[in-house]
Amino acid sequence: MSSIICALLIIMSNGILLAYHSEQVSEVHTWHTITSFNGSWYGSLHVLTDNEQGVYFIDGTANHSRIENPFTVSESASFDYGLVITEQDDFNMLYSLTLSQQLEPDPKQSNSRICVFLISAERAACPYIVPVSFHGKTTCLWESVEGRGENFWIQ
């Protein structure tokens, strides 16, 4: 696990002292990469257990911003995210990764391809992931990467 600490930045502007800081990111428990093998997809991450107030997701950019749903994944741009579990929480949690792709815009019918991963862990380093695909020939795959987390693929 790694801890990310953001520094305090103090700037003097026109005689006014300005202070900027970003929140400290607690322990990043695992890192994950989502890759598309077929077009662009909209993604969202949601914690499904009510008692986990200290669980959240950050993006893989240098700023490690909290993830805003929806995010985009494409063949040319995979998406990295970190799962943060603060000290006030435990492994007793469940979250979802949902990815959707509309094949042909048609307001009269639902023709989206959807991939949902239900993600939890039986214990540390023992993920329990259920991939479910909807509408069409959507393939939802995942793989554990020792010492890092899990990677997800959609096509």
Decide if 116 is inside a domain: yes
Q: How high is the pLDDT of residue 2?
A: 42
Q: Which tens digit of pLDDT belongs to each residue from 75-123?
A: 999 999 999 988 877 778 899 999 999 776 666 666 789 999 999 987 7
Decide if 117 is inside a domain: yes
Residues with Cβ within 8 Å of residue 59, at least 6 apart in sequence: 65, 66, 67, 71, 79, 80, 81, 82
Q: How high is the pLDDT of residue 122?
A: 77
Decide if 13 is inside a domain: no
Decide if 10 is inside a domain: no
CATH code assigned at 81: 2.60.270
Answer yes or no: are the C-beta atoms of 51 and 32 closer than 8 Å.
Answer: no
Instruction: Determine the average pLDDT of the residues in 48-61.
Output: 88
Answer yes or no: are the C-beta atoms of 59 and 11 closer than 8 Å.
Answer: no
* 28 strand-pairing partners: 2, 84
Q: How high is the pLDDT of residue 4?
A: 39
Decide if 11 is inside a domain: no
Decide if 5 is inside a domain: no
Domain total of the chain: 1
Provide the residue range defining the domain that includes 84.
Answer: 29-154
Decide if 93 is inside a domain: yes
Q: How high is the pLDDT of residue 25?
A: 53
Global confidence as pTM? 0.79
Decide if 18 is inside a domain: no
